[in-house]
Amino acid sequence: MSAGHGALRHRDFRLLWAGESVSQFGSAATRVLMPLIAVETLDAGPLAMGVLGAAAWVPWLLFGLPVGAWTDRMRRRPVMIVCNTVSALLMLSLTAAAWLEALTITQLMAVAVLAGTADVFFRAAYGAYLPTVLPHEALPDGNARLQTSESVAEVVAPGAGGMLAQAGSAAVGFLADALSFLLSAVLLLRIRTPEERPGPPADPGARRSLVREIRAGAAFLTGDPFLRTILLCDAAMNLFLAGAQSLSILFLSRTVGASGTVIGLLIALAGLGGVLGAMVSPRLARRVGTARAVLLCAFCSGPFGLLIPLTTDGAGLLAFLIGEFCLMTGVVAGNVIIVSFRQAYCPPDMLGRVGAGIRFVMYGTIPVGSVLGGALGALLGTRDALWVLYAGNALCALLLLSGPLRGSRDLPAGDAGAAGSAAPVPVPVPVPVAAAGADAGAAAAGEGAGAAR
């Protein structure tokens, strides 16, 4: 098998990739459209924007851990299909409200909570499903293509979302997102790879206890020094970046004075950093080692966020563009390496629980960060709040030095239980993605900040 095309040789991966790519394009446009409508049409303030940013992530605090255990008990593909269908219906409700000119900030928040709940189930199933359609040696290539597709969506779609908001065409944007979810569900239905129903407990006499299974997943995650250290750093970064992202559109619109079209264009161009990150991560990981590459991504990208509060109108918009571009490059490059590492490293019967545990902690920090960002924006003003939040994010990279990554060249692979004592075995790294267009793939179920589906 050609290493460069390992994932694309699998028909069912191509269906998964295509479906999630289309869905990502719709969702990326909506992520810009929804807050712009809140700011420019519904006159939302900093605190309301913080709450709106938090709404989609609150379900992770409520359901994140039990959902991981549930998905380890059931087939993952049906769960994903149901979640896409529910998300489509929610977007259609916004379409109808926008057409009737009855859209309210309360409805936006309610849909964000419900869509976020569907996303909890989808991500728990999706993160554990990829190894079903790909062999382990093709996972890095698949993850690189998946992450690149998400990054391409972040380049192309936000501009459309900004223009739709400025033109008063919110209904069209929400409808497009609904159709993208439906198409993704149809493509998932066409996957042929049989998925075995999870078996009974190893001890036939033991009753399956949800609490016991959650505890086992949490113990595995917190007991492994590599998983624990990466989780601690990423969760802290998510806290600060979520706060910054909850204020970014408000900052650009009201403080800087940029139009909706310009805001969408800036976010789209900054998304090219994600494409670059997915493309360079394989080469970087092979050259310096996977553990060192994760450290490099965190330490080199974070300080660029401090350019963003310097943004002014006109040529000063370059400060925002450069800062966001470099942040995206580091986040995506690190995600590709970390997600491939975890999928190859964790036992298959633990993937759902470990993935859900990671997302519970990391995504659980996002509503806290969003409300924190809104409160800081109301107290200090958006520019000063962004200084505090981006400085905090840059300092989070120091947390990676508290664990074994500091002395390792590569992240380990194989027996997770031996990670703390055995010498690390290099984890496979993705091959370079040839281009950011047709050769790119769908989202890698990344857990970095800003990776929300």
pLDDT at 371: 87
Contact 369, 242 (CB under 8 A): yes
Q: How many CA atoms lie within 13 A of 383 on its CB side?
A: 11
d(CA 366, CA 371): 9
Contact 144, 433 (CB under 8 A): yes
d(CA 426, CA 419): 12
Structure token pair of residue 69: 């255990």
d(CA 370, CA 244): 8
- Total structural domains within the chain: 1
Structure token pair of residue 361: 């902690």
Closest CA to 174 of 260, 93, 267, 107: 93
Question: Around Cβ 107, how many Cβ atoms within 10 Å?
Answer: 15
pLDDT at 308: 96
Sign of the dihedral defined by the CA atoms of residues 101, 106, 109, 110, in that order:
negative
Kindly give the confidence (pLDDT) of every residue in the chain, 453 residues in length, as a single tens digit, with 9 standing for 90 and above: 334 457 778 888 888 888 888 887 777 777 777 887 887 778 878 888 888 878 877 887 788 777 767 777 778 888 889 999 999 999 999 999 988 888 888 899 899 899 888 888 888 787 678 878 888 778 777 777 777 777 676 666 656 665 666 565 677 778 888 888 999 999 999 988 887 766 555 444 444 566 777 788 788 888 889 999 999 999 999 899 999 988 998 899 889 998 877 887 888 788 788 878 878 888 898 899 989 999 999 999 999 999 999 999 989 999 999 999 999 899 889 988 888 788 778 877 777 678 778 878 877 788 889 889 989 999 999 999 999 999 999 999 999 998 899 888 988 876 554 444 333 444 433 333 322 222 222 233 344 433 333
Q: Look at residue 24 and tell me if it is in a domain.
A: yes
Give buried/exposed letters for 277-307 (b at 16+ CB in 10 A, else e): bbbbbbebbbeebbbbbbbbbbeebbbbbbb
Question: Around Cβ 258, how many Cβ atoms within 10 Å?
Answer: 22
d(CA 165, CA 160): 9
Contact 60, 112 (CB under 8 A): no
Closest CA to 252 of 300, 312, 337: 312
Contact 411, 427 (CB under 8 A): yes
Q: Look at residue 47 and tell me if it is in a domain.
A: yes
Q: Look at residue 202 and tell me if it is in a domain.
A: no
pTM of the prediction? 0.66
Sign of the dihedral defined by the CA atoms of residues 129, 135, 140, 143, in that order:
negative
Contact 79, 122 (CB under 8 A): yes
Q: Look at residue 363 and tell me if it is in a domain.
A: yes
d(CA 175, CA 180): 9
Rg (CA), the chain: 21
pLDDT at 300: 93
Angle at 151 between CA 162 and CA 448, to 5 degrees: 105
Structure token pair of residue 116: 């976020």
Q: Look at residue 1 and tell me if it is in a domain.
A: no
Q: Look at residue 165 and tell me if it is in a domain.
A: yes
d(CA 412, CA 229): 13
pLDDT at 439: 28
d(CA 98, CA 168): 9
pLDDT at 230: 92
Token pair 């976010």 in the structure block, residue: 267
Q: Look at residue 316 and tell me if it is in a domain.
A: yes
Provide the CATH number for the domain around residue 294. 1.20.1250.20
pLDDT at 324: 94
Structure token pair of residue 222: 């917190």
Contact 385, 369 (CB under 8 A): no
Q: Look at residue 347 and tell me if it is in a domain.
A: yes
d(CA 410, CA 289): 5
**Residue range(s) defining the domain that contains residue 101:** 7-196+210-418
